[in-house]
Amino acid sequence: MVDSIWSPIGGGITAPRGFKASGIIAGLKSSSKPDLALLVAPQGATCAGTFTQSLARAACIDLCIQRLLVTESRVRAVLINSGQANACTGERGLQDSLKATEEVANLLGILPEETLICSTGVIGSPIPMQNLLPALDQLVKELSVEGGHSASRAILTTDLVEKEIAFEANLGGKVVRIGGMAKGSGMIYPNMATMLGYITCDIGMPSKIWKKVIHKIVNNSFNSITVDGDTSTNDTVLAFAQGEFLSEVYWPQLEQGLLLVAQHLAKAIARDGEGANCLIEVLVKGTSNEQEARQIARVIVNSSLVKTAINGCDPNWGRIIAAAGSSGVFFDLKKVNLWIGSFQLMRSGEPIKFNKLEISSYMQDKMKGKYLQNDCIPIKLEVGNGKGCGFAWGCDLSDEYVRINADYTT
């Protein structure tokens, strides 16, 4: 239903009218890669944000939350630095965030309170302000409606690919566009990794409604992915809406488009997990409600034993069932049915005969499809007759993940 309404277009985060972005090399990293980005929204834009629930959160998180309250969600700009999380850096972390946003606001001619900052990178590392501040003038000068791709590159850390998408649809005679970009590859287990996500839309919606919609969208996308089960200090999703208010009649269609963008970005993060070879998609059906289904799915896809079995192309269904049973959601084992791809492994709570080599070969083929959109290994679990249905996405766990993270700062 979503795909029949929304069509993919180019432009990423700046595809919606009125939004500009830029991304440059500011020298924040040891490598000569883009590391500083800026996203600017049109005047009057409404911003909704969801943030990490970690108590060990970066100062920029508190600053964003405070400014969203002060401005009543009217935000014009977001500065994003890559390389340093600026978390657990004491008072300096806050002061650097305040200084950076003040300088950006002055260059843009807006209020500091209308400017947010997001940081990503190594925890405990402060922003090298001696490099960031002199680069802000160039960053502002390079703002453009074509700058979405540059921005999506500049926010990456251990990511191997950019994550951006845009869609458009005709709603009530108006062409509506939604764009998005994200970053994330490790420390992914959002609870609103190091994960950042941004969404833009060129149609308006009342602020209270927009916040509710985005909260729902995040729960069914960014909050339904995992790479390694670790929640970051800096998780942030910011979503902007700007323009003439859309008639309530079309709100469901707009929500579909937002979910399409958010899920694309969320799956791109899981697909690009550190050391990963494939995307794992878990669908759980038959629970009492959607939340329970999503909880079971999330536990399964986060299980190290499930993830390593997938990495080894081993259809070890017992690990899937064991993970589901530890989710905290009650279900009757006698009503459980399980599939990997189109292969059924369990019926009415009991194992059935299957060709292990055939399923393993199927999984191996999926491992070869990385970045070709043919690398998804779907797992479907039915646990009863309820109407609850929920997805979660993750990736396999490889020895490469250990190597990447064993010497991350050394």
Residue range 47-91, pLDDT digits in tens: 999 998 888 899 999 999 999 999 998 999 999 999 999 999 999
Note whether 393 and 350 are same-domain residues: yes
Distances (CA, A) of 44 to 21, 95, 99, 105, 114: 17, 27, 24, 16, 11
Note whether 337 and 212 are same-domain residues: no
Banded pLDDT at 315 (limits 50, 70, 90) = very high
Of 194, 226, 233, 287, the catalytic one is 194
* Residues 279 and 263 sit within 8 Å (Cβ to Cβ): no
Tell which of 253, 271, 289 closes a domain.
271
Tokens describing residue 292: 């329970």
Is a pLDDT exceeding 60 seen at residue 3? no
Tell which of 271, 295, 313 closes a domain.
271
* Residues 280 and 379 sit within 8 Å (Cβ to Cβ): yes
Q: What value does the CA radius of gyration of the chain take, rounded to a whole number of Å?
A: 21
308 included as an active-site residue: no
Domain count, the chain: 2
When pLDDT is averaged across residues 38-44 and rounded to a whole number, the result is 96
Note whether 395 and 362 are same-domain residues: yes
Note whether 133 and 51 are same-domain residues: yes
Note whether 29 and 172 are same-domain residues: yes
Query: Treating both helix axes as pointing N-terminal to C-terminal, what angle do 304-311 and 290-302 enclose, rounded to 10 degrees?
Result: 60
Is a pLDDT exceeding 50 seen at residue 403? yes
* Residues 153 and 34 sit within 8 Å (Cβ to Cβ): yes
Residue 326, domain CATH = 3.10.20.340
Note whether 253 and 304 are same-domain residues: no
Q: Using alpha carbons, select from 292, 301, 282, 303 the residue that is nearest to residue 330.
A: 292
Note whether 18 and 97 are same-domain residues: yes
Say what the pLDDT of residue 187 is: 62
Residue range 107-137, pLDDT digits in tens: 999 999 999 999 998 899 999 999 999 999 9
Say what the pLDDT of residue 273 is: 83
Note whether 250 and 303 are same-domain residues: no
Note whether 113 and 160 are same-domain residues: yes
Note whether 264 and 312 are same-domain residues: no
What amino acid is encoded at 95 in this protein? Q
Tokens describing residue 14: 């700046």
Domain that holds residue 316: 279-406
Residue 225, domain CATH = 3.60.70.12
Tell which of 207, 240, 271 closes a domain.
271
Distances (CA, A) of 369 to 181, 373, 376: 23, 7, 8
Note whether 198 and 298 are same-domain residues: no
Q: Put the strands of the sheet holding 36-40 in their side by side order.
A: 20-24, 36-40, 77-84, 115-122
Note whether 186 and 296 are same-domain residues: no
- Percent of the chain past pLDDT 70, that is, above it, reads 95
